[in-house]
Amino acid sequence: MKHPVPVAVTGLGCICAAGKTLPETLAALFRGERAPAPSRRFATSYPTPFPVFEVTEDFAGRDDLLRTSLLALAAAGEALADAGWSRESLRPLRVGVCLGTTVGSAMNNEDFYREYRQGQEPSLAPIRRFLHSNPAASLAKEYSFDGPCQTVVNACSSGSDAVGLAGAWIRAGICDLALAGGADELCRTTCNGFHALMIASDAPVTPFDRRRKGLNLGEGAGVLVLESEALRSSRPARAFLRGYGAACDAYHLTAPHPDGAGLKRALREALTEAGATAQNIAFVNAHGTGTVDNDRVESRVLAEVLPNVPFLSTKGYTGHTLGAAGGIEAALTVACLELGKIPASIGFAEPDSEQRAVPVTRTTTVAGDLAISQSLAFGGNNAVLVFGRGAR
């Protein structure tokens, strides 16, 4: 393993149920606010309506693209503005887009398929919209980028992987600037899938708590602007991507390895790449879905690899936004590292006797120059990002 050059993060954007921008989201987190509720956009027939974390923005008048792409565009717009880039100023650059998603790449329109099954001739509009809505491609098209373009579909680690992969593009000189992160919309099909797996909770999510009952789905997008040093020159960086680790459990389609084998390898790889030890880590933004298996495995691994490092799950505020989670959580991690504090891990109240590490229960001042954002996923994927403080 080499020690890759750190990559500058010059802009951040985030839209989720906690806020339509990153500052709004951060403010909600530090106020300890959250408002999971049954979806306004679709109904299910379960006796108890499962709460979700829905973005209030309706994107009225934009039915040309899937909501996932519209969420991505919103976060990307904020991130580019934060970095000081206008559309015009980006034109001469080679700009790449690397976005994670799950729903944004799934051809699963229920109305279309129902009519198909009934032998009708369904409108092809949903299929056309799907074909025009590849998240990375729709972002590239919106801004007329012509660099590398990649939609990562690694389930719930997609957003983290996308940031790590885009970092490699910058280091390799494949592009000057990359928009990286993830986007996902709430979807009835996905809700039914998580209910079928019996890992969705009918109450507000309680990551790492003894009484946790499962996840609440959410939606949103988180996008980071990554820049080469040649491009950034003397402009400030909000942070540096210092390490990325990825490893597969190769164990089960939907459950993590009981010992967290892949997560440990991903963590160690990311730490090695960053040239860091546990002592250098200010905090961890954990995956923390609120499912029994994830939180048990993750807390064990954190206790073993990063003992005494403060950690939280921001999914208590945003819900599990699937392919967007890694992007949103990376943005929140960088912002909290800048602030030098992390909010309470909302929903956690009572420690689980099986867990050797517990999250923070109040706003906590953190010390250290590095922070970690990590994701676990279906398929046994594990992705870990290490961010370092920026330079003004």
Partner 1 sequence: MNGMAIQGIGLVGGFGCGRDAFAAALSSGAAPTRPAPFAGGEIPALLADTAPLTRFVDKRALRRIDHFSRLALLGAHLALEDAGLPVPERARLGLIVATGYGATATTFAFLDTVLDGGDALASPTHFSSSVHNAAAAHTAILLGITGPNLTVSQFEMSVPSALFAAQGWLAEGRVDAVLFGGVDEACAVLRYCWHRFFPEPSDVIRPFEFDRQSAVPGEGAAFFLLTGDSGKARYGRITEVRQGNAAVRPPLLDEALLYLLGADGHRECGASYHRYLPASARCAAYAPSYGSLPVGPAFDLVVAGLVCRDDRLPSGAGGEALAGRELCCLKFGRGEDYGVIRVARD
Q: Which of 39, 151, 160, 333 binds partner 1 (CB under 8 A)?
A: 151
Question: Interface with partner 1 includes 378 (CB under 8 A)?
Answer: yes
Stretch of residues binding partner 1 (CB under 8 A), selected from 18-26, 124-132, 293-301, 368-376: 124-132
Q: Which is nearer to partner 1, 102 or 206 (CB)?
A: 102
* Three-class secondary structure assignment of the chain: CCCCCCEEEEEEEEEECCECCHHHHHHHHHHCCCCCECCCCCCCCCCCCCCEECCCCCCCCCCCCCHHHHHHHHHHHHHHHHHCCCHHHHCCCCEEEEEECCHHHCCCCHHHHHHHHCCCCCCCHHHHHHHCCCHHHHHHHHHCCCCCEEEECCHHHHHHHHHHHHHHHHHHCCCCEEEEEEEECCCHHHHHHHHHCCCECCCCCCCCCCCCCCECEECEEEEEEEECHHHHCCCCEEEEEEEEEEEECCCCCCCCCCCCHHHHHHHHHHHHHHCCCHHHEEEEECCCCCCHHHHHHHHHHHHHHCCCCCEECCHHHHCECHHHHHHHHHHHHHHHHHHCEECCCCCCCCCCCCCCCCCCCCCEECCCCEEEEEEECHHHEEEEEEEEEEEC
Footprint on residues 189-218 left by partner 1 (CB under 8 A) = 189, 192-198
Q: Which of 81, 93, 168, 339 binds partner 1 (CB under 8 A)?
A: 168
Q: How far is the CB of 193 from partner 1 (least distance, A)?
A: 3
Site string for partner 1, 286-305 (x = CB under 8 A): --------------------
Q: How far is the CB of 119 from partner 1 (least distance, A)?
A: 6
Question: Interface with partner 1 includes 153 (CB under 8 A)?
Answer: yes
Question: Interface with partner 1 includes 366 (CB under 8 A)?
Answer: no
Q: Which of 18, 74, 79, 165 binds partner 1 (CB under 8 A)?
A: 165
What is the C-alpha separation between 344 and 18, in angstroms, rounded?
A: 14
Site string for partner 1, 173-192 (x = CB under 8 A): -x--------------x--x
Question: Interface with partner 1 includes 35 (CB under 8 A)?
Answer: no
Q: Which is nearer to partner 1, 85 or 348 (CB)?
A: 85
Footprint on residues 81-110 left by partner 1 (CB under 8 A) = 102, 105-108, 110
Q: How far is the CB of 379 from partner 1 (least distance, A)?
A: 3
> Is 273 buried (19+), middle (13-18) or exposed (0-12) by CB count in 10 A?
buried
Question: Interface with partner 1 includes 119 (CB under 8 A)?
Answer: yes
Q: Which of 154, 201, 289, 355 binds partner 1 (CB under 8 A)?
A: 154
Q: Which of 37, 125, 172, 349 binds partner 1 (CB under 8 A)?
A: 172
Footprint on residues 334-363 left by partner 1 (CB under 8 A) = none
Q: Which long-range contacts (CB under 8 A, 24 or more apart) does 250-255 make?
A: 250/380, 251/380, 252/380, 253/378, 253/379, 253/380, 254/197, 254/378, 255/293
Q: Which of 12, 152, 200, 221 binds partner 1 (CB under 8 A)?
A: 152
Q: Which is nearer to partner 1, 8 or 140 (CB)?
A: 140
Q: Which of 17, 22, 139, 145 binds partner 1 (CB under 8 A)?
A: 145
**Active-site positions?**
156, 287, 320
Q: Which of 27, 32, 35, 46 binds partner 1 (CB under 8 A)?
A: 46
Q: Which of 21, 68, 150, 206 binds partner 1 (CB under 8 A)?
A: 150
What is the C-alpha separation between 359 and 344, in angstroms, rounded?
A: 8
Footprint on residues 241-280 left by partner 1 (CB under 8 A) = 246-254, 261-262, 265, 269
Q: Which is nearer to partner 1, 290 or 379 (CB)?
A: 379
- The site that binds partner 1 (CB under 8 A) totals a number of residues, namely 71
Amino acid at 50: F
Q: Which of 15, 55, 74, 149 binds partner 1 (CB under 8 A)?
A: 149
